[in-house]
Amino acid sequence: MVILIPNISTSILLLPKPPSKFPPNPQIPISKHQSLILFKSKHPHNPSSQIMSSQQNKPSTKPFKFLIYGKTGWIGGLLGTLCQTQSIEYHYGSGRLESRDTLIADIDAVKPTHVFNAAGVTGRPNVDWCETHKVETIRANVVGTLTLADVCREYGLVLVNFATGCIFEYDLEHPLGSGVGFKEEDSPNFVGSFYSKTKAMVEDLLKSYENVCTLRVRMPISSDLTNPRNFITKITRYEKVVDIPNSMTVLDELLPISIEMAKRNLTGIYNFTNPGCISHNQILEMYRDYIDPKFTWKNFTLDEQAKVIIAPRSNNELDTTKLKTEFPELLSIKDSLIKYVFEPNRKTPKTA
């Protein structure tokens, strides 16, 4: 039993009745947060009919096939490896995000069941690059992301979009150290950098796309401590670091969850971090205790940091209740760091 809400153009939003009556697949529980989206596509070979059947209490007739953007990137590369490990068929998109025809060509060739967007410009060596490359940033992160979302909608495809949680900063209602995090429905309050400003704009516009799952990633960390993009690697190499508690994303735990979210056809916004906060110094203390007992570091203040960067950086805590309700096994940031990063890389002897 479903409720049909006709939409103006080509899509129909289907809201599930109580989960007990509407399990799409015995192995895939339906969340109370979940919006199920079915589309009437203009395209005859649209694979969404197979997605629909999996949502309507029948086993899917078609195995999952993912189309991933961001082949040469950090998160895109890890996603491909995960798909391989899980024996999920996947293909990397060769199109450019802002070029609609190339995206359509990818979808026509691959005929995916789901699309993942881990493409976009993040700036090299860091987001300061976006301050001096505004048009390039808009082209990929704004025009590109919106074009991909629009094409996916036209094809009736769920798009899992790796976005950012760096669109908030601690404020009076969410003070540092209070444990009160920003929720999914909160409006961004940090536009201090051009990167964050454009990401906030896009997140807002994507709310109108009922096929998009927006994942707010923050300060990603992976078990590969040699990767210069890894937050831990970054702060161990800085001459001086600030010390501020933040929400962070342990990719080794969260990326498999993003795959599961696609399988469940979850859409809407999700704070995509581990529960709780951790500060720079707390991470560096763990690094010293697990990896290098001789490791030392120097702190500086936010004012001093401001002198060596161009754009201000966001510091915040995100509320992870929504994600934790969907995935109760999700570990706190500290436990996740120990399990996925520090124990597997341990170089110091265990103390009794």
Residues near ligand NAP, by CB under 6 A: 69-76, 96-98, 118-122, 140, 144, 162, 164, 217, 220, 229
Pairing of strands 65-69, 89-92: parallel
| Region of residue 219 (phi > 0: left; psi between -120 and 50: alpha; otherwise: beta) | left
Please name the amino acid found at residue 351.
Answer: T
Measured from the CB atom, the residue of 56 and 126 that comes closer to ligand NAP is 126
Q: How far is the CB of 71 from ligand NAP (least distance, A)?
A: 5
The smaller minimum CB distance to ligand NAP, of residues 14 and 160, is found at 160
Q: Report the residue number, 97 or 331, with the smaller CB distance to ligand NAP.
A: 97
Nearest Cα neighbor of 181 from 339, 332, 301 is: 332
Greatest distance between any 2 Cα atoms in the chain? 64
* Pick from 213, 245, 246: nearest CA to 322: 213
Closer to ligand NAP by CB, 73 or 275: give it. 73
Q: Indicate the residue whose CB is closest to ligand NAP.
A: 73
Distance in Å, CB of 220 to ligand NAP, minimum? 5
Pick the closer one to ligand NAP by CB: 34 or 246: 246
CB of 306 to ligand NAP, least distance (A): 20
Cβ distance 121 to 130 under 8 Å? yes
Q: Which residue, 16 or 181, has its beta carbon nearer to ligand NAP?
A: 181
Rounded to an integer, what distance in angstroms lies between the CA atom of residue 27 and that of residue 339?
Answer: 26
Instruction: For the CB of residue 73, give the shortest distance to ligand NAP in the complex, in Å.
Output: 2
Output the CA–CA distances (angstroms, integers) from residue 268 to 22, 212, 300, 307, 322, in the order listed: 20, 6, 38, 37, 11
CB of residue 76 vs ligand NAP: minimum separation in angstroms?
Answer: 5
Residue 338 beta carbon to ligand NAP: minimum distance, rounded to whole angstroms = 21
Beta bridge partners of 180: none
Per the CB < 8 A criterion, the answer to whether 146 and 206 are in contact is yes
